[in-house]
């Protein structure tokens, strides 16, 4: 063992040191520990919320979406669907057709997006887990049914057990002006009964009404066109690789997007917010770590006699400074490792038991703070703490004034 390490380890909480120095050293370790623990817990909770938001969007969005670059709809015959289905990693292909329309139910009205979906839609998304009332039913024999977003249902005061009042769907006719004498002539109108209500996320709940695609084609007046082709991937498939293969089959008239690309702005915001939180908390942690400067300064004052003895014995100035540099690093790493361990245990307990509950969590999709630990976060926290601790210790140790022994 190098003498610098041996001496630094002996100085760490040395029994013969003055109590005040030990207390300051302990406070320094605790400060680093609490800061590291707080940083990893906050980052893990942020990961949990980010993962929750992404999972909510993933419940409705397909793995890969093909849509037209220009216009709202296109003929699916313009895409070689058979070739796409043969791409390794693709589980299912579904067609959708969307249009904004007016929903009337009893004396209530609501403007919503009518999304026509085919029978494969349930295998494309995770909608079956998001039904909060009723059931996931779009067709039954010759009857069509609608699955309504929770926000839309609330706006309409919708009752699923009302057999006498179906929903009336109004879609503007293409190129038909509105007549002041009979405004309804400008709309295609169809009746449909709701079978279920889903709840995913406000953006979807307050916007969408899902109907069979044939019903949508009939009321929109587009018997063959679609708004998008939605693709589901098999477990373990590489979305980017499959996207590239699909894009190679389609022409430049179509855009092919993964889930990340469908909500690219959202993902960028979540990532930038996480790093903003990281740097803000790192700055707060920096203040706690600078307690090390005070601890080392007092230790240097107390050990002046030892410094003189080491110098007289021939120890180089660099070696003496390294003793206190290592002392500072030991304090930093002791606090950082302890903080990360305690923070990891707290995060694990929160994951398993949901100890800390969300306020009004019973009305949300979860009732406790979500937590997701990532190895990169632990490495990042340990790295930033080590760097700041090293700078603080280096600054303090470099200020040591070592008197030259007599005769030198």
- Judging by DSSP bridges, how do beta strands 187-198 and 254-258 pair with one another? unpaired
Are 183 and 105 in the same domain?
yes
Give yes or no for residue 360 having a pLDDT over 80: no
69 & 41 share domain: no
55-64, 94-103, 151-160: which range is least confident on average? Answer: 55-64
Distance CA 329, CA 8 (A): 10
CA atoms within a 13 Å half-sphere pointing along the CA-CB vector of 131: 17
Distance CA 208, CA 96 (A): 13
Choice among 20-24, 146-150, 213-217 with the minimum mean pLDDT: 20-24
Query: Which domain-ending residue is among 261, 288, 317?
Result: 261
Cβ distance 168 to 105 under 8 Å?
A: yes
Q: What is the mean pLDDT of residues 83-88?
A: 96
- pTM across the whole model: 0.77
Regarding whether 249 and 279 lie in a shared domain, the answer is: no
Q: How far is CA 132 from the centre of its chain?
A: 24
Least confident range of 124-138, 273-287, 301-315: 301-315
Tell which wins on pLDDT, 119 or 288. Answer: 119
Is residue 51, in this structure, part of any structural domain at all?
Answer: yes
Domain that holds residue 326: 3-57+267-398
Say which residue, 187 or 16, is predicted with more confidence: 187
Q: What is the pLDDT of residues 154-171, one digit of tens each?
A: 999 999 999 899 999 999
Identify whether residues 378 and 341 lie together within a single domain: yes
Segment 236-281, tens digit of pLDDT: 999 999 999 999 999 999 999 999 899 888 888 888 888 888 888 8
Q: Name the percent of the chain lying above pLDDT 70.
A: 92
**Residue 182 or 146, more confident:** 146
Tell me the per-residue pLDDT of 163-221, one tens digit each, with 9 for 90 and over. Answer: 899 999 999 988 777 666 677 788 999 999 999 999 998 889 999 999 999 999 999 99
Determine the average pLDDT of the residues in 127-153.
93
pLDDT in the model for residue 362: 57
Examine the domain organization and report whether 161 and 280 are in the same domain.
no
Residue 405 pLDDT > 60, yes or no?
no
Do 103 and 163 lie in one domain? The reply is yes
Distances (CA, A) of 314 to 127, 308, 311: 76, 10, 5
Choice between 197 and 11, residue whose per-residue pLDDT is larger? 197
- 403 domain residue, yes or no: no
Point out the domain boundary residue: 212, 236, 261.
261
Asked if the structure places residue 408 within a domain, the reply is no
Mean pLDDT score, 353-371: 79
Domain assignment present for residue 405? The answer is no
Looking at the structure, tell me whether residues 68 and 48 fall in a common domain.
no
Residues 340 and 312 in one domain: yes
Single out the residue in 261, 295, 319 at which a domain terminates.
261
Burial class (CB in 10 A: 0-12, 13-18, 19+), 55: middle
Tally of structural domains, the chain: 2
Residue 352 forms part of a structural domain = yes
Same-domain status, 68 and 203:
yes
Judged against a pLDDT cut of 90, whether residue 323 lies above it is answered with: no
What's the pLDDT band for 361 if we cut at 50, 70, 90? low
Tell me what pLDDT residue 19 has: 62
Residue 181 is predicted with a pLDDT of 64
Q: What is the mean pLDDT of residues 341-359?
A: 93
Say if 404 falls within a structural domain.
no
Rounded mean pLDDT, 93-122:
95
Provide the 3-class DSSP secondary structure of residue 158: coil
- Determine, yes or no, domain membership for 407: no
Q: What is the pLDDT of residue 180?
A: 63
Residues 7 and 118 in one domain: no
pLDDT band with cut points at 50, 70 and 90 for residue 2: confident
Same domain, 298 and 195: no
Q: Which segment, 12-26, 30-44, 205-219, 327-341, is predicted with the most confidence on average?
A: 205-219
Percent of the chain whose pLDDT exceeds 90: 54
Q: Are residues 149 and 189 in the same domain?
A: yes
């Amino acid at each position: 063992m190098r003498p610098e390490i041996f001496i630094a380890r002996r100085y760490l909480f040395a029994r013969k040191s003055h109590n005040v120095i030990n207390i300051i050293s302990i406070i320094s370790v605790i400060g680093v520990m609490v800061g590291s623990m707080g940083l990893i817990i906050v980052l893990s909770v942020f990961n949990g919320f980010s993962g929750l938001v992404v999972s909510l969007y993933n419940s409705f969005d397909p793995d890969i979406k093909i849509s037209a670059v220009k216009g709202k709809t296109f003929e699916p015959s313009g895409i070689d669907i058979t070739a796409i289905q043969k791409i390794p990693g693709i589980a299912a292909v579904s067609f959708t057709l969307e249009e904004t329309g007016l929903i009337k139910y009893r004396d209530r009205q609501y403007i919503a997006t009518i999304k026509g979906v085919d029978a494969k839609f349930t295998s494309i998304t995770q909608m079956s887990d998001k039904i909060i009332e009723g059931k996931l039913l779009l067709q039954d024999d010759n009857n069509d049914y609608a699955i309504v977003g929770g926000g839309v249902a609330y706006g309409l005061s919708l009752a699923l057990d009302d057999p006498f009042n179906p929903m009336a769907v109004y879609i503007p006719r293409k190129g038909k002006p509105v007549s002041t004498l009979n405004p309804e002539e400008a709309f295609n109108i169809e009746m449909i009964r709701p079978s279920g209500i889903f709840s995913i996320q406000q953006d979807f709940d307050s916007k969408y009404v899902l109907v069979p695609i044939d019903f949508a084609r009939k009321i929109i007046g587009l018997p063959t066109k679609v708004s998008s082709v939605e693709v589901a991937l098999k477990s373990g498939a590489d979305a980017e690789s499959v996207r590239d293969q699909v894009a190679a089959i389609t022409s430049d008239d179509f855009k092919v997007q993964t889930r990340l690309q469908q909500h690219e702005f959202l993902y960028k915001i979540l990532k930038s917010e996480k790093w903003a939180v990281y740097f803000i908390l790192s700055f707060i942690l920096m203040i706690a770590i600078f307690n090390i400067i005070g601890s080392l300064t007092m230790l240097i004052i107390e050990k002046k006699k030892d410094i003189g003895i080491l110098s007289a014995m021939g120890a180089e100035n660099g070696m003496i400074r390294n003793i206190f540099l290592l002392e500072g690093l030991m304090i930093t790493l002791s606090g950082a490792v302890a903080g990360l361990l305690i923070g990891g245990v707290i995060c694990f307990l929160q994951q398993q038991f949901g100890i800390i509950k969300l306020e009004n969590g019973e009305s949300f999709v979860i009732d406790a703070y979500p937590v997701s630990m990532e190895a990169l976060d632990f490495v990042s926290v340990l790295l930033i703490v080590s760097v700041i601790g090293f700078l603080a210790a280096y600054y303090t140790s470099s200020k040591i004034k070592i008197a030259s022994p007599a005769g030198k």
